[in-house]
Amino acid sequence: MVDALHGSGATAPLPVVQPLRLDGAQLTYVGDRRLNQDALGSMLQDDLACMVIADGIGSKLGGEVAARIVVETVINRFRQEQSFGARALQSYIAAAETHLAQRQRAEPGLKEMSATIAAVLIDQKNRCMVFAHMGDTRIYVFRDKQLVSVTKDHSLVQQFVEAGHCSVDQLRHHPRRSILFAAIGAEGDVGVEVTPALDIEAGDALLLCTDGFWEWITENEMVDAIASTDNATEWLNRMAQIVQKNAAATASRSRDNCTALTIFIV
């Protein structure tokens, strides 16, 4: 076979790899709170995409300001640098930490503000992604309509789970579930957690969401919602209906701000 190709001068064509396409949807609402201290943003540049969600922590306007600074800084840095990789994502978030610290120093009334974060970079052409998180804002990854991974919260109750003191199911209802040990703008020994690059393929799906969303929907319900759809908007709408139904059935608990972003890779 080699000789035949040699003699004819023929060469085998290289396969053409088409960039993946992203289908996305998002929602955010205030819940039972006076202010929505969640923020979200996304940007597509050529074959690179950046998605980020932040959940602000702080009294009065502090949390709202912190979340907005984090999201805007990450998106702006991505716009300026158009880089992909774990190091790039780390640098975008480091810029957000610097910007937030500057604002804390400039306005003493905001010195206690901070924000959790979940951020994803996707390289559509090379079919890979990196993601980062801090606090209890989560990233879920689905393949073949099944959940394959979810970020672990930087929270006290997550530590209880890992130590065997409570079950995973109690994460959503534990009275100390809101105690975090990592957030942008807060002092602590834990930094942002960034993954190495992960391969992606058509049919994969992502969910980024704050605790005001995932506290009201189980992982099994997420899988049920995605089972018969290949559309990011329909999947998000189905999950939002479940969140609203479950929250309505638990009148003793107030609704936190609720923010989610879904992505289908098609």
The pLDDT of residue 16 is 53
Q: What would be the CATH architecture of the domain defined by 19-265?
A: 4-Layer Sandwich (3.60)
Cα distance between residue 233 and residue 239, in whole Å:
10
DSSP collapsed to 3 states, 86-100: HHHHHHHHHHHHHHH
The pLDDT of residue 255 is 81
pLDDT tens for the 266 residues of the chain, in order: 333 333 334 445 545 557 799 999 999 998 888 889 999 999 999 999 999 999 999 766 799 999 999 999 999 999 999 999 999 999 999 999 999 999 999 998 899 999 999 999 999 999 999 999 999 999 999 999 999 999 999 888 887 877 877 777 777 877 677 788 889 998 776 789 999 999 999 999 999 999 999 999 999 999 999 998 989 999 999 999 999 999 888 766 778 899 999 999 99
The pLDDT of residue 2 is 31
The pLDDT of residue 96 is 97
The pLDDT of residue 5 is 30
pTM metric for this prediction:
0.89
Cα distance between residue 123 and residue 187, in whole Å:
32
Each domain of the chain, given as residue ranges in start order, spans: 19-265
The pLDDT of residue 34 is 84
The pLDDT of residue 187 is 78
